[in-house]
Amino acid sequence: MISVYTKLLKVSLKNIGGILKIKFKKIKAILIKLFYNIFRILKWFKDNFIQASLVMLLSLSIFLPYIIYYISVNYKQFKFMGTNIDVLGYYGSVLGGIVTIIGIILTFNYERKKSSEELRKNNLPLLRFSYRPIKFKSDPNKKYDVAVIFGLTEEINDYNNSKKNLEQMAFLQQRLLYQKEHSNKQLEYYYSRLKVVENIYKENSEEYLKEISYFQKAQEIIINEDHRIKEDILNSVNSISQVPKKINIINEGFLDIENIGLQTAIITSITLKKYDGTLSLDTEIFKVGRFAVPKNSKIQLTLLIDIYNYHELDCLLIEFIDLYYNKYEYVITFELQEIEGENLLIINPNNIPVLPTQLSK
């Protein structure tokens, strides 16, 4: 009997523990959500302290006469001695104070922006770029400072498609050879039958004319099948020949970056931008410390450019920041040259604008 009560007690305690555990999880989730919302509100007040303070002061200033009037009506020990003119004067003072505060804020923001713009102009880095390839193949064991690779997936797809077309052409050519052998055997068979019938029956007899009809139909079917296979082969050849020729670029060389500006520039991104606006996502950057370019100095980076289906409007985007975290960008165009059957992309410093484009922070 005692063991039964003991088991019931254990089961009850287990159920109570499970219920408490579930409730604790719910309470924990509610508390986490509550603290998260409180944190968001506090963060908002911190980020917008001036705006929130002005709104609160403005609200208090507007409703202060109503609060005083309410207190004077409901609490006899407090008496409001003012008149309507006093209230209007009060609101006029509040309005004047608001206008003054807004003017101070606008003046402060204007001076701050003006000072920031002057500081930016006085510390503007000006960069010069040049690049000329020295190799025309990539080294998988080499770590480049920057590797700009674009179109690898497209190259694989084109290779697979051309491979399928070639396989289809080979299959159709093999089928055409087989068809010719089979057709010749069929024609020989019907021709031999025609000779047998010709030796037995007269030329204008019913059996002879029927055999000629069989022979002509067989010949027509065989010729049509040959034409169909030849058209399939011709279509495959046309589909391969109509694929536009794509320029493949594999260049390795040194990218020279010279700072002729007033302060240090810190290179943050080197990206290829295609003519349709697509950006390369597989740029690799090593030795980040070398990407700081002090004024009146020059650095040299090993740059690999691997582009499948190059277009004349493709360009290189180089982003950098100054010491005050102002962001800038140079849009660098290429010059395509062909030397001894190899495609070269040249960066001519004379084709690059002197002033960079400022980007939003």
What is the residue-wise DSSP string for 137-154? S--TT---SEEEEE-HHH
Q: Identity (one letter) of the amino acid at 60?
A: L
Give, in degrees to the nearest 5, the angle at Cα 120 between 49 and 329.
Answer: 105
Closest by CA to 232, choosing from 315, 173, 286, is 173
Give pLDDT, residue 74: 61
Q: What is the Cα–Cα distance from 349 to 347, expressed in whole angstroms?
A: 6
Q: Identity (one letter) of the amino acid at 354?
A: V
User: And the tokens for 88?
Assistant: 């209007």
Give pLDDT, residue 1: 47
Is the overall model pTM greater than 0.85, yes or no?
no
Q: What is the Cα–Cα distance from 278 to 223, expressed in whole angstroms?
A: 51
Say what angle helices 49-74 and 84-122 make with each other, to 10 degrees.
170
Residue appearing with tokens 């070639």: 166
HSE (side-chain half, CA atoms, 13 Å) at 173:
9
- CB of 208 closer than 8 Å to CB of 201: yes
Helix, strand, coil percentages (3-state) for the chain, rounded to 5, are 55, 20, 20
Give pLDDT, residue 21: 59
Closest by CA to 285, choosing from 263, 270, 307, is 270
HSE (side-chain half, CA atoms, 13 Å) at 335:
13
Say what angle helices 206-241 and 152-200 make with each other, to 10 degrees.
170
Give pLDDT, residue 187: 73
Give pLDDT, residue 288: 47
Give, in degrees to the nearest 5, the angle at Cα 204 between 198 and 205.
Answer: 75
Give, in degrees to the nearest 5, the angle at Cα 75 between 72 and 77.
Answer: 90
CB atoms under 10 Å from CB of 116, counted, come to 12
Give pLDDT, residue 161: 72
Give pLDDT, residue 256: 93
- CB of 271 closer than 8 Å to CB of 285: no
Residues facing residue 135 across a β-bridge: 252
Q: What is the Cα–Cα distance from 300 to 257, expressed in whole angstroms?
A: 6
Q: What is the Cα–Cα distance from 82 to 344, expressed in whole angstroms?
A: 87
Give pLDDT, residue 14: 57
Q: What is the Cα–Cα distance from 179 to 183, expressed in whole angstroms?
A: 6
Spatial CB neighbours of 267, under 8 Å, sequence gap ≥ 6: 257, 291, 292, 293, 318, 319, 320
Residues facing residue 341 across a β-bridge: none
Give pLDDT, residue 289: 46
In the predicted model, residues of the chain with pLDDT beneath 70 are 1-26, 28, 45-51, 64, 66-88, 90, 152-156, 159-160, 194, 197, 201-204, 237, 239-244, 281-290, 361
